[in-house]
């Protein structure tokens, strides 16, 4: 009995089994109790010695169980810890940060640049009145100049603004007859157009407007050349070509010298050395008068630049649709420009 119980306790591998062994050997129905009960059948003088022997075995077993119990408790605790262990050296999931959209980057760059020159930034509604988009821009109803911008009409008086010149005419009305006026007006504009790599029914412009005494084309040219150098590099120069807009007189088309140019085969300027970037001119006297300015006393210049166009030139983007399809692989490449 002694050998058997001790070896079983020794072999026992968990606390639950050990408890069973304790019941088995030391419980009420166990062999120790049985033997104790049978003591009454022994002759009186043999009982003490027998009892001592049985008790000795009993305490041996108890001791063995207690020892084993201590060992198993430690073992089970260690196993538990092992199972619940967290490997803190594993890589976690990287938090993916967003970045600014390239159109926002260019718009902010323009805003910073002009705020630095003392301009303020003005906005206006995208759903605009015909009044501000066309009439006040010197484009009356049924005038053929309206065809230059095929417009989304909402009803006879309301439309999606087709150019940021609509913000310009609002600003003129708001400021008149005060001078100086120095604002830039960035925002989305809409035109009925078939979308392709260079056309989009929705794009972004930034208008610039200055009104004061003796404002001339020279002021316009100096301002735009400063802008071209900031946006495309200090070596850039600009040139004016005659153009036509209903709301400016004279009107010019502005080219910037190519910033990529490798000469003949240049993919950006096709070897001409010049890239058209915007339309501009001196604010038409009619536009000033309609807003409440004395056009004999004051003059002004205005320009309108396409933000997509600038972004495409600056970052070498070949398809305007990239700005709207929002493929994250495209968007992520602008992280490094922030
Ligand atoms: N509104 C013109 C366009 O959208 C651009 C422009 C703005 C031209 C201001 C002259 C002055 O094409």
Q: Could you tell me where the beta strands, DSSP code E, fall in the chain?
A: 120-121, 127-129, 158-160, 181-190, 202-212, 238-245, 248-257, 274-283, 299-306
Lowest mean pLDDT among 70-74, 119-123, 167-171: 70-74
For residues 123-147, average pLDDT: 92
Whether 147 shows a pLDDT value over 80: the answer reads no
| pLDDT tens profile 197-250 | 989 999 999 999 999 999 999 999 999 999 999 999 999 999 999 999 999 999
What are 299's two structure tokens?
Answer: 């003059």
Element (H, E) at 108: helix 102-115
Q: Is 63 annotated as a binding residue?
A: no
For residues 184-195, average pLDDT: 95
Whether 34 shows a pLDDT value over 90: the answer reads no
Q: Mean pLDDT for the chain? A: 92
| pLDDT tens profile 240-265 | 999 999 999 999 999 999 988 877 78
* Cβ–Cβ under 8 Å, residues 34 and 24: no
pTM above threshold 0.95: no
* pLDDT for the residue numbered 286: 98
C-alpha 259 to ligand 1 mean position (Å) = 23
* pLDDT for the residue numbered 43: 87
- 283: helix, strand or coil: strand
Whether 85 shows a pLDDT value over 90: the answer reads no
Whether 94 shows a pLDDT value over 90: the answer reads no
| pLDDT tens profile 279-314 | 999 999 999 999 999 999 999 999 999 999 999 999
Pocket test for ligand 1, best of 277, 304, 307, 310 (most atoms within 8 A of CB): 304
Give the pocket of ligand 1 (CB within 6 Å): 163, 165, 207, 245, 248, 279-281, 302-304
* Cβ–Cβ under 8 Å, residues 54 and 35: yes
Whether 149 shows a pLDDT value over 80: the answer reads no
Question: Which numbered atom of ligand 1 lies nearest the CA of 168?
Answer: 9
d(CA 122, CA 154): 24
Lowest mean pLDDT among 134-143, 168-177, 258-267: 258-267
State the pLDDT confidence band at 139, using cuts at 50, 70 and 90: very high
Whether 148 shows a pLDDT value over 80: the answer reads no
């Amino acid at each position: 009995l002694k050998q058997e119980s001790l070896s079983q306790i020794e072999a026992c591998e968990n606390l639950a089994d050990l408890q069973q062994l304790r019941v088995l050997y030391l419980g009420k129905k166990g062999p120790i109790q049985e033997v104790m009960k049978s003591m009454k059948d022994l002759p009186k003088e043999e009982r003490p010695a027998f009892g001592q022997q049985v008790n000795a075995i009993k305490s041996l077993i108890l001791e063995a169980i207690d020892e084993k119990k201590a060992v198993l408790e430690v073992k089970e605790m260690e196993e538990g810890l092992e199972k619940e262990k967290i490997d803190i050296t594993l890589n976690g999931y990287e938090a993916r940060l967003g970045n600014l959209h390239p159109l926002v980057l260019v718009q902010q760059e323009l805003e910073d640049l002009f705020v630095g020159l003392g301009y303020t930034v003005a906005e206006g509604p995208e759903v605009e009145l015909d009044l501000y988009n066309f009439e006040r821009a010197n484009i009356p109803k049924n005038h053929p100049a309206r065809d230059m911008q095929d417009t989304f009409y909402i009803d006879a008086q309301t439309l999606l603004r087709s150019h940021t010149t609509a913000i310009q005419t609002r600003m003129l009305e708001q400021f008149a007859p005060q001078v100086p006026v120095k604002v830039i007006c960035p925002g989305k504009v809409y035109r009925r157009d078939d979308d392709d790599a260079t056309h989009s029914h929705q794009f972004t412009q930034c208008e610039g407007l200055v009104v004061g005494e003796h404002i001339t084309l020279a002021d316009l040219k100096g301002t735009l050349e400063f802008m071209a150098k900031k946006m495309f590099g200090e070596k850039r120069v600009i040139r004016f070509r005659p153009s036509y807009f209903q709301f400016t007189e004279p009107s010019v088309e502005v080219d910037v010298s190519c910033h990529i140019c490798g000469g003949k085969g240049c993919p950006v300027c096709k070897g001409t050395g010049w890239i058209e970037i915007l339309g501009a001119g001196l604010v038409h006297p009619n536009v000033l008068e309609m807003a409440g300015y004395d056009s004999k006393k004051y003059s002004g210049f205005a320009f309108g630049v396409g933000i997509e166009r600038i972004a495409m030139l600056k970052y070498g983007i070949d398809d305007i649709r990239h700005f709207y399809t929002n493929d994250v692989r495209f968007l992520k490449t602008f992280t490094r420009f922030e």
